[in-house]
Each structure stands twice: as structure tokens, then as C-alpha cells.
Chain A
Amino acid sequence: QKEVEQNSGPLSVPEGAIASLNCTYSDRVSQSFFWYRQYSGKSPELIMSIYSNGDKEDGRFTAQLNKASQYVSLLIRDSQPSDSATYLCAVNKEETSGSRLTFGEGTQLTVNP
């Protein structure tokens, strides 16, 4: 089982719709959860971080965390063509050597005008 799994996609939504991106993780001791957006040929850019169960909203983005289900999601409301990118779920946990960020394979999102 992979440490971090994302819905494989690609995901295609019409402009103005809600895009829902999902991620599960295998290690219960994971402590911090991040969503990065990566445009083709560019580096990852932080969208959201979440540490506690529940929802966290920032503009059109809402991250949801359920530690009991080991599940984290990202909702993008009023999707825009500029949201078309690969979204990477990342999970961080403390280890004896320090903390380590583990990425899922990414979900490619296309928002159609």
C-alpha cells in the first residue's frame, strides 16, 4: 500500500463547477497535510495546509481532514481555467531522523471554459 494515494484522474470539470480532489494516507501518526498545485513545467506551490480534523477555508479552496478515516480532500469552488494543473497531496510526519514530506502521485485537473 502506498503511503499517500490520490484519485488518479485526470479530472475534468466545467468552468464554475466544484472540483473535488481526494487523498488517503496509510500512517496514522502522520501529523500535517498539505496541498500543492503544480503547473506543467513549474515547481509545486502551496495551496493549503491543514493539521486538525475538520474544514479549513481559504478563498475558493477548502481543505477537509478526517484523521479517523485517514482522509484529506481539497474542494475548489467556482473552478476557473487557471486552476488547471496537477494537485499534489503531501503528508508530513516526524521520524527519528526528522520530518519527511511524502507526496501522492498527483491528480491532474482540467477546467474547461
Chain B
Amino acid sequence: DTEVTQTPKHLVMGMTNKKSLKCEQHMGHRAMYWYKQKAKKPPELMFVYSYEKLSINESVPSRFSPECPNSSLLNLHLHALQPEDSALYLCASSSEMTSRETQYFGPGTRLLVL
């Protein structure tokens, strides 16, 4: 089973709202990732958690706040977003955070900021 689940599938929020994206995997993977993908562009890495610790933060604005409550869950808290933050947000996981491990992507959350 290589399933990564994400909720919600779609989200519309205003610039003053606070919302959270959720990602879950039950493959025993110890590395989890958040990516942002704009239309007709490749995914861009935002954050990486390895063994529930934040390993990589790609200089993402503080209005995006990641959280890894346990080894199966990854959240992305959103606050005071801008319209340019509208994108597909992808979660991925891999067995370990090493270069040989395959990253498996969830279906994504399509976010629209009004």
C-alpha cells in the first residue's frame, strides 16, 4: 500500500482566515514533505520532516506553518495568505530521507485564496 491521503481536496479561504491542511500515511515512512505546485510548473519543495523533526525549510513565509504531530501525520497551518498562494499543495512521504528513497505523493489540496 503506497497511499498518502490529504484533506481537504479543495479549500477556498479569505486572506484573514486560518485553515489547516492535513496529510496522513500508514506506510511506516519516516520522512514527510510539503510541496507547492502552481499551474504548468513542477512541484516546489517547502518543508521536510524526518523522524518528526523539521529538517528542511525552503525559506517559506511564516504564514505557512508546518507541524508533524506523529510519524503518520503532517499538517500545514495557513494564516493570512495572499492570492498568489493559490496553488496545489502536495504532501509526499518516503521510507527515509535519503536520495535513493522514492517519494510517494498524495492527491493534493487545491487551495484558492480570495
Contact = CB atoms under 8 A, between A and B. Distances in A.
A113 to B, nearest CB: 24
A92 B99 contact: yes
Interface string B22-62: 00000000010000000011110100101000011000000
B100 A32 contact: yes
Contacts of A99: 97-99, 101
Report the contact-size class of chain B (Cβ under 8 Å from the partner): 20 to 34
Given A42-B107, A97-B56, A98-B48, A51 B42 contact: no
Nearest to B44: A103
Chain B: interface secondary structure?
A: loop
Interface of A: 31-32, 34, 36, 42-46, 49, 51, 88, 92-94, 97-101, 103-106
15 contacts: A32-B100, A34-B103, A43-B88, A43-B105, A44-B105, A45-B105, A46-B104, A88-B42, A88-B43, A93-B99, A97-B56, A100-B56, A101-B45, A105-B42, A106-B42
Interface of B: 31, 40-43, 45, 48, 50, 55-56, 88, 90, 97-108
